[in-house]
Every structure is written in structure tokens, then in C-alpha cells.
Amino acid sequence: QSVLTQPPSVSGAPGQRVTISCTGSSSNIGAGYDVHWYQQLPGTAPKLLIYGNSNRPSGVPDRLSGSRSATSASLAITGLQAEDEADYYCQSYDSSLSGFVVFGGGTKVTVL
Amino acid sequence: QVQLVQSGAEVKKPGASVKVSCKASGYTFTTYPIHWVRQAPGQRLQWMGWINTGNGNTQYSQNFQGRVTITRDTFATTAYMELSRLISEDTATYYCARDATTGINWFESWGQGTLVTVSS
């Protein structure tokens, strides 16, 4: 069971907007720790998409955006494209015994 | 550019140990921590631990305490992850990742992954 909870899957048609939630607790997101997001294409290593809740590394399109509030965070993808079909993971820091770095369970985005 | 190149796939028997390497290049090795993350087939990412590549200090996830050892060789700019007393559930792809800062933050660069298969 993951410390950070994500929906197993979301889907949308090309051009639509989808959001992925990441729900934590008072020992991680609720404690004010930042949330980061990664994209993982099949058979490849994760790639950083969003850091510090809402910042995009260079090269990541502005169709992707992140936000955080209270004990949760969200990743939004607008103008959905076929290339967005992948697994997405949120990550944060946890101050409990869970072990410092925690990941969400991952969300599979399917482009219909 | 930053590159992390990991050692090749391994097949191990239950009870054995495995040591995976992560060769870093393109930056000052001792400035940024290296983390190890694993992913069982079809499963989520799971953090194992990290090493301060400057002073060699380590911290491990409670889930692997006592079985995992992370080390580094500053001259070879290489980090290592050794997992002992392997069981079939340790079959997974193991990734090294470089932290973006000097503490625990986000993972800016990742190795290509090393598949470890545990089978009798």
C-alpha cells in the first residue's frame, strides 16, 4: 500500500484535459513537503515532469501543470496527445517511519 | 550532460546477494546525492535509500533495513547498491537517480535501470 494515493487509471480523448490526484497525509504533503511528478513510458526509466509542486524542467511542455494544496497535489495534462499515454507517479518526502522518500502508486493515462 | 550508466542484468539464486553499479558523468560527482529506487514487474516505484556522495553517509528505507548497502567510489564516480539475502520478490528493475539538490528533493536524472531476476 502506497503512502501517497493515486487513481490507478485515467483516460481521455485527444485534445481533452485530464487530471491526476495524489493524496497524502500530515506526515508528507500535509506537512508542507513539496510534490514532484514523473512520467514513465513502457520499458523506460522515469522522467522528471514537475518539481517543487508546479515547476517544469526545460523541455517539458506547458500543457503539463502541477499544483498542491493541504494534503494533496494534482497533475493536469491539457490538449491530451497520444504521446502522453504513460504511467505517472507523484513523489514527496515523508517524516514518518515510512522512509523519507515516498511515491504514489502510479496512474496509467490512456488516450482513447 | 549528466549521465548515469548502470551495470547489466543479473540472475541470482534465492539467498544470494547482488551488487549493482551506477557510473556518473557530466557533473561533479560529490556534489549531489544518489538514490536507489526499485520497481517490481507491473508495480510502483519503491525508494530504497540514498548516499551523500560527498561524505558517504547513507540512509535506508525501513523496508530494506539490514539487507541493503549503498556505497560509492569517488575516484570512479560510481555508486553501488548491494542487496543481500535475495528472495523471489526482489525480482525487479533497480534504478539509480541523482538528486537535484544537495538534500533529498527530486530526481533530476535516472540511470537506465538494471533488471535483477531472483530464481532457483
Query: Is the Cβ–Cβ distance between B107 and A38 less than 8 Å?
Result: yes
B106, A93: Cβ pair inside 8 Å? no
Q: Which residue of B44, B107, B110 is in closest CB contact with A105?
A: B44
pLDDT tens, position by position, A72-82: 999 999 999 99
Distance CA A68, CA A47 (A): 20
Selected residue with higher pLDDT from A97 and B23:
B23
Contact state of B108 with A45 under an 8 Å Cβ cutoff: no
- Are β-strands A9-12 and A107-111 bridged in parallel, bridged antiparallel, or unpaired? parallel
Tell me the pLDDT tens digit for each residue of B27-83. Answer: 999 999 999 999 999 999 999 999 999 999 999 998 887 899 999 999 999 999 999
Handedness of CA B114, B6, B99, B87 (dihedral sign): positive
| Amino acid (1-letter code) at residue B92 | A
- Closest chain A residue by Cα to residue B112: A45
Distance from CA of B46 to the nearest CA of A (A): 7
**Which residues fall within 8 angstroms of residue A24, CB to CB, at 6 or more apart?**
A3, A4, A5, A30, A35, A71, A72, A73, A92, A102
Q: Given an 8 Å threshold on Cβ–Cβ distance, is B45 in contact with A103?
A: yes
CB nearest A101 (choices: B47, B110, B112) = B47
Percent of chain B at pLDDT > 90 equals 92
Q: A100 CB contacts (<8 Å, ≥6 apart)?
A: A93, A94, B47, B50, B59, B61, B104
Q: Which pLDDT tens digits describe chain A residue by residue (112 residues)?
A: 678 999 999 999 999 999 999 999 999 999 999 999 999 999 999 999 999 999 999 999 999 999 999 899 999 999 999 999 999 999 999 988 656 899 999 999 999 9
Q: What is the pLDDT of residue B105?
A: 87
CA distance linking residue A30 with residue A94, whole number of Å: 10
Check residue B103 and give its pLDDT.
80
Query: What residue type is A83 in one-letter code?
Result: E
Chain B: give the shortest CA distance to residue A21, in Å: 16
Chain B residues with beta carbon closer than 8 angstroms to that of A104 = 44
With beta carbons less than 8 A apart as the criterion, state whether A65 and A49 touch: no
